[in-house]
Structure 1
Amino acid sequence: MPVVLVALAGCEEFDSGTGSAGRVGAPKSTTATREATPEPSVETPSASSTPSPSADPLTSTGTVTEVVDGDTIKVDGQSVRLIGMDSPEAGQCGYDEATAAMADIVTGRVVTLIAVAGRDDVDQYGRLLRFVEVDGTDVGLREIELGLAVARYDGRDGYGTHPRQDAYIAADAAAADVTCAAPEPTAPAEPAPLVGPAADATCDPSYPTVCIPPAPPDLDCGDITFRRFTVLPPDPHHFDGNHDGVGCESD
């Protein structure tokens, strides 16, 4: 039988592998799609995903439970000494006024306590050393402005400069000092009772403890209980009527 050769009008690219239908030489489609590898996405962080700044370790808050005096309070039971100022002590002029002013400002209030880096955290009595603020008001500065405290315990006296020193010193210089009335003079004490004979008493030399104290000019023997005592001149009461040196010899 004769062999018939068929000319192919065109050529297709064939895959030498096995096609999807299981036949060899299945055409590879030039339009076939492959599963694309997705591009890596870049997320833009939202504002809510940004970490909040950590709380300032030098700052805390609490409720004032007691006012000790013009520069010391208790916050949640812990004693707190205000930094950079000093108020009068008990018994000193201005103590009552400073304590009352502090009570008016902070009693029962929530306050902010601010430590100062590089300075002591507590004093020798175990009190926290802090600036104290209530609703943004610097309580120590307010006491100084009222003339109820002075700027102290700072760089001028060996305690180290603090951040509010200049403001405290300026307020101290501008404030009027509290004045206190002088105490009322006390009446002199009653003189102690006379012990022993007075300088002008008439005494019996034989019995030095038996003396006649000074008396009004009209004193006579009827006014005293002594009898037959020695009378020394000048005998202003005339006890020795017969001038024999013995006074009030008879009734």
Structure 2
Amino acid sequence: MFSNFSFVAISILFLAQTALPVVANNFSATVVSIGDGDTIRVRTGNKTVTVRLACIDAPETKQSPWGQQSLARLKQLLPVGQTITLRSTETDKYKRLVAEVFVGNRNVNVNMVEEGQAVVYRQYLKNCPESKDSLLQGENRAKQQRLAFWSQANPVMPWDFRHRITQKSTSQPTQGQQQSNCDLSYPDFCIPKNSSNLNCRDITQRRFKVLPPDPHGFDRDRDGIGCER
């Protein structure tokens, strides 16, 4: 017969094993909309949340035609109403859930990279340990086959494209802008006073100077720089 100690030990082991799926942060959701090649909106339970696809970076929508192609492909892979599984890795500074997205056993993040519709975001690759090798191998094959984004002679990485936009947006405003009805919280470019509430997805500028009171909340971490990603 089992001693009380053995019974308790077995019970603890059983509970630990059954808790693993919770620790893994895997859960189901339904696709609501696609924002761009690496951002979607999903519904889970009674909440609708924004999901940033982990460990990949898609061309910006203004990187014509690659950004629009990436968006169109993700819409094909994740049609509205599609049931998906999310493996969450973190929540970013914009309160977006960062996750790997699965349809059945297919990893959509890897799929986008394999088809040249997105690139590996090496800065965050440590967050996808189970998919790391597949992502890197998929990108290498896409480069060799010159698929989609990699068909360009000199592709501009999405993060470099965003940096260039930032440099343009942080140029000094003209005298006309300074004298116009621009919100003084954003001296690097003009947002009209009393504009309806905006967020970083509504504007193209990134990493710009923000002064109090920051009515649109662009500077979430209050370091004086708005929309850093």
Q: TM-score, normalised by structure 1?
A: 0.46
Ranked by relative contact order (alpha carbons within 8 Å, sequence separation 6 or more), the top structure is 2
Larger Rg: 1
TM-score, with structure 2 as normaliser: 0.50
